[in-house]
Amino acid sequence: MELQQLSSIYYDVIQYLSETSEQEPRQLKIVVFIDDLDRCLPEKAIEVIEGIKTFLDIPGYIFFIGVDREVIEKGVKVKYRGYVLDEKSGMRMKTESHDDEYDETVAEIPITPSDYLEKIVQMPIPLPPIDTERVKGYLKELLEENISVEPYLDIIQSGLKQNPRTYKRFINTLAFHAKLAMEKNCLQISDDMEMIRPCMTLELLVKWTVLNFAFLDLIKATKRRKLLILEIQDWIERTDSEKTESEEKRQPESQPATKDVPAYLKSWLQDDRLKSILRINKERGDTGFAKDTMDLYVQMGEFTYSTPAHKEKDTGVRGKLKIVPREETGKMVTIPAGEFLYGEEKKEKTLPEFGIGIYPVTNEEYKEFIENNLEHQVPGHWVKESRSYPAKKGDHPVVNVSFHDAQAYCKWKSQEDKKYIYRLPKEDEWEKAARGTDGRVYPWGDDFDKSKCNTDESGIGDTTPVGEYQDGVSPYGCYDMAGNVWEWTEPDQEAEKGIKMLRGGSWYIDREVARCAFRVRFDPDDWDDFVGFRCARTL
């Protein structure tokens, strides 16, 4: 058929269809199937459906529309945006553009999305989910020469939407990632393969590709905090382990690990689909993502998933890229027993379980101690007459306290809370709480970032409220363990008699000394405006 004839059919489709209907017998039935209508913008999808209803209502024709119901419902909201009514007054509300958001709790449109579909669609046929075995069979067909991926079909199925197009794109992307990794000689194909440098494994490459398809928000967050996936993975393993132990003992968990999950991880750990992907399968020899290979996976994703750069909205708050609820001051977190990498040499060391404060002790907390111990001298920068801290600094860490002042506070707190013994943390305890188990340089990773801590690089020149730098939190949920104030600790190595150790750096000094492994000797009788402390505790 010539192009001119095709153009004529396109513009005169109603006439052609009517003529065909009139020429053929009355029992003629022509079925027209319009698929993938949800690929259109929601508003355009509505226009197509209304065009069919208005102009193609011809005897003998049946129209089937393949579309996602949610797309149509969104289209209805967009199309009737200009007719939004205020529920209270019944008056039409003015909207500036189709990009504006409106609060559905106080506004309504003349027709609800569900009513609209009932008027347009005479017979809705919702499609059931695809059978799991059929999906597995389809995936096996797609794999073809990439049959080595077959053991990981459970990861692929649990992570991806059951959509044939998605599976095709995923398999193509995974094959590209694997080929590229082999060319770069950084993919471990078998366990007996001798590797001279850290390499990716096929199982973790599958997991990483699934994450790029199904959890782009996590991938974006990983660009801000490179070891985020490792931290989620470690918490999954910890909670699974505690659950298994409690089941073996046939008793409920008295203090489940989930109560100590840092605020910045809670939303991820509530996603069962994500947990099923990141859960380490030891039976398959899976060791999980590791710090020394994380860069390889991140670089691999850049080849195929370079998402458009978007500028973070300036909230006017230093260091906060993602707002999470602020934890209460005085909260303690449990650091589990086990090994970790300690010191500049990153030697393996084992510690028993202990508790530690997620924040340094604040002026407000220290004032309660001062009010209950009238004989104790207040810090030098406080107002002596009223025995109170400087205005607007209640949530700042207390400073100008000696080692003995900090010990006195812990002793008083132990008397207040009979259940625990409060004390100053030992150096190794402080360090594990700050850097986790993997020997990272700073609480958030190996690379310094001035937006994640209050050091000299920030240019503030003073203390900041505890928990101000939410992206600088440690793997266990402890804040301000790099910068803000030096913190008193009990030395765990031989030191000069009477000498104590400071950890964490402070607001007046640079990044080098804010490293988790850095330690400074200090006289326990001395105090300064850059020295504070946090509490540890044991049963």
CA 474 to chain centroid? 14
DSSP string, 44-56: HHHHHHHHHHHH-
315 CB neighbour count, 10 Å cutoff = 10
Per-residue pLDDT at 415: 94
Supply the DSSP symbol for 439.
T
Per-residue pLDDT at 185: 86
Give the least confident one: 270-284, 304-318, 392-406, 425-439. 304-318
User: For residue 96, what pLDDT band results from cuts at 50, 70 and 90?
Assistant: very low
Contact 500, 407 (CB under 8 A): no
Judged against a pLDDT cut of 60, whether residue 488 lies above it is answered with yes
**Quick one: tokens of 294?**
């994380």
Residues 332, 257: Cα–Cα separation, whole Å = 13
CA 345 to chain centroid? 31
Write the CB contacts of 467 (distance below 8 Å, at least 6 apart in sequence): 326, 327, 358, 359, 479, 480
User: pLDDT tens, 31-78?
Assistant: 888 887 777 777 777 888 888 777 677 777 788 888 777 777 777 777
One-letter amino acid of 258? T
Per-residue pLDDT at 398: 98
What mean pLDDT do residues 346-372 have? 96
What mean pLDDT do residues 322-327 have? 63
Give the least confident one: 64-73, 418-427, 480-489. 64-73
Residues 435, 323: Cα–Cα separation, whole Å = 22
Between 187 and 350, the more confident residue is 350
Residue with tokens 């920068």, as numbered in its chain = 381
CA 34 to chain centroid? 39
Between 369 and 202, the more confident residue is 369
User: pLDDT tens, 189-243?
Assistant: 766 656 567 889 989 999 999 999 999 899 989 988 999 999 999 999 998 888 8
User: For residue 108, what pLDDT band results from cuts at 50, 70 and 90?
Assistant: low
Contact 512, 518 (CB under 8 A): yes
Tell me how far CA of residue 361 lies from CA of 333, 340, 369, 411, 466, in angstroms.
Answer: 14, 25, 11, 14, 9
- pLDDT > 90 fraction of the chain, expressed in percent and rounded: 46
Strand ranges across the sheet with 486-489: 519-522, 500-503, 486-489, 531-532
Contact 238, 257 (CB under 8 A): yes
Expressed in angstroms, the distance from the first to the final Cα of the chain is 87
- Strand ranges for 85-216 from DSSP E: 85-86, 107-108, 187-188, 200-201
Mean pLDDT, the chain, whole residue set: 82
Give the least confident one: 73-77, 86-90, 445-449, 523-527. 86-90
- Strand ranges for 267-337 from DSSP E: 332-335
**Quick one: tokens of 57?**
């209502």
Burial class (CB in 10 A: 0-12, 13-18, 19+), 347: exposed
Residues 524, 485: Cα–Cα separation, whole Å = 16
Residue with tokens 């949920």, as numbered in its chain = 477
Residues 400, 370: Cα–Cα separation, whole Å = 14
Predicted structure pTM score: 0.76
Give the least confident one: 143-152, 274-283, 317-326. 317-326
One-letter amino acid of 489? T
Contact 487, 522 (CB under 8 A): no
